[in-house]
Amino acid sequence: MTKHYNITVSGKVQGVWYRKSTKETAKRLGIHGFVKNLDNGNVYIEAEGDETQLKELVDWCHHGPEFALVSHVKFKEDAVQGFEAFEIKQ
């Protein structure tokens, strides 16, 4: 069953390839949605997949790519949007 998570990642997560790495991880996991930088320095992700896929993505978000310093990951379930791919938004 497809679920939708809204995920916010805080810390040193911009300028460290976090969005690109998130896209690669989502693609590997078979997750659809998007990732974007927020003006406050956080990264925001909307992701759709089954519960196992989404839990694996959230687990990955806690460390992210090599140079990220993640301080907090917050996620909540929301209504499924029906994304067909995973993309990086500006």
Catalytic center residues = 19, 37
**Phi and psi torsions of 82, nearest 5°:** 80, 35
CA dihedral 35, 37, 38, 39 (to 10 degrees): -160
Residue type for 57, please?
Answer: L
